Amino acid sequence: MEPDPPEPSPVEPPPRESVWDLARRALRSREAMSGLVHWLVVRGSIIFALFAIVYVANGLLIGWQSTYDVTLGIRSPGDTSVAWAAWPLSLAGWLAMPAVAGAVAGYVLSVAITNRRQDSIAQKFGGQDV
Per-residue pLDDT of 17-39, as tens digits, reads 899 988 888 778 777 777 777 77
In a domain, 104, yes or no: yes
C-alpha of 74 from chain center: 26
Q: What is the pLDDT of residue 126?
A: 67
In a domain, 9, yes or no: no
Please state, in angstroms and rounded to a whole number, the distance separating the CA atoms of residues 22 and 37.
20
**pTM for the predicted model, two decimal places:** 0.61
| List of residues 6+ apart from 10 with CB closer than 8 A | none
The number of domains in the chain is 1
In a domain, 43, yes or no: yes
Burial 62-101 (b: 16+ CB within 10 A, else e): beeebbbbbbeeebebeebeeeebbbbbbebbeebeeebe
In a domain, 100, yes or no: yes
